[in-house]
Amino acid sequence: MKAKFFDIGFDYNDPARWYLDQPATPDGEVLPGTFWSGVPWTKSCPLSVKVSQCGVPASFSHSGHSEYIVSVDLMDRLRGILKPGVIQGIPVNVHGYPGGYEVLNVLDIVDCVDEDHSEFSLWTAEDGRPDRIGDYRMSLLRIDPKRAEGHDLFRVKGWTIALICSEKIKDCLEKAGVTGIQFTSVTH
């Protein structure tokens, strides 16, 4: 039986859920894309997130640009089942909400796109984004489970905005009663 993997996405079907802005430094610098590049965060400055739409706090929140804000309890659960070095939690203050949250910085980047079953194009010089040349422009992501084997929570090389989890992590999150996300199969 081949392993199953899932894209973790924001649950847009719950209108009562809150919406968060992107993490920012104390001087207001917004950090788009910082936490999906697979690079450890080494700065010591505190981070904060504004609530862009009030609602019911979620334990796993998407905050734009594919950054995720996760409750401390859920981060502790993830730390308990993932291999060391897969994730980094960066403390973040969510304005107006007491309680602990962390930015989920996933450090594992896996080269596993199943190009035969995915629908995509590649960024080119004509697109005006030299930093993205050769990366995927994905309309349907499928990953090769053999190449993803042994990885439980990761970003996809060439399409790092995708946050992928194994069935093991999906089951763990569902048993923990995680709120705010939905799972979409990416295994063909």
Query: What is the distance of C-alpha 113 from the center of its chain?
Result: 17
The CA distance from 100 to 186, in Å, is 31
Give the pLDDT confidence of 75-90 residue by residue, as tens digits.
999 999 999 999 999 9
- How far is 81 from 98, CA to CA, in rounded Å? 26
Q: What is the pTM of this model?
A: 0.93
Tokens representing 159? 């399409």
Using an 8 Å Cβ cutoff, are 104 and 69 in contact?
yes
Q: Does residue 132 surpass a pLDDT of 80?
A: yes
To which residue do tokens 């706090």 refer? 57
| Rounded-to-integer distance, Cα 50 and Cα 63, Å | 10
pLDDT band at 63 (very low <50, low <70, confident <90, very high): confident
